Amino acid sequence: MSDPFECELLDWELFDRLAKTLANSIINDGYKPDFMVGLARGGWVLSRVLCDYLGVKDLVSLKVEHWGVTATPDGKAQIKYPFDIDLTGRDVLVVDDITDTGESMMIAVKYVQSKNPDQIKTAALRHIKESKFTPDYYGDVIDWRWVVFPWNYVEDMCNIIPKVSENTNSLDDIKQRLKNDYNLDLSLDQIKEIQGELDRRRK
């Protein structure tokens, strides 16, 4: 079994509160982006919500790969699906869900700069203190932990639950291991639901 690590389940209510805090910090700073780049996949939901809060019509996706399975980096961040858009004269906001290592945001900013925008600023829902990159705007600052976002819940649980299921079929044992090793408090029904999804994905 791999080494355990601390996790946090972030629900939609907290997401909405942090997104509003983030949007207000951008507004209060006087920055008025007219073009948004959402980093795929984690930044998609937040970038769309910020478009709504900030009145931005133009949104594109930029796929930056860094993380493989949950909490395991694939290696150096790299752009998988670049876009060919001239951003001359545009005020751009680059958005991701979290600045963990910071590498995804750094490579994204460098790429967007090559498209000749007038301004680039960056935003993340959550900023990890230990990150190599500090965004211009963020919803809050936290110590490192693996944040399980609502849009990544099933994927993360499908990666974590097998780690605590070795040598046991007991739901109670799995539940206790999740709490002890990952700080995850899942119900027995939630665990069974993920086990069912794991079975489906193996077929």
190-196, long-range: CB within 8 Å, 24+ apart, which pairs? 190/157, 191/161, 194/154, 194/157, 194/158, 194/161, 195/161
pTM of the model: 0.91
Would you say residue 70 has pLDDT above 90? Answer: no
User: Measured between alpha carbons, how far is 31 from 96 in angstroms, rounded to an integer?
Assistant: 17
User: What pLDDT is stored for residue 77 in this prediction?
Assistant: 76
Pick the CATH number of 11-148 from 3.40.50.410, 3.40.1050.10, 3.40.50.2020, 2.40.110.10: 3.40.50.2020
Half-sphere exposure of 117 (CA within 13 A, CB side): 20
Model confidence pLDDT, tens digit, residues 130-166:
999 999 999 999 999 999 999 999 999 999 999 999 9
CA dist., res. 42 & res. 106, Å (int): 15
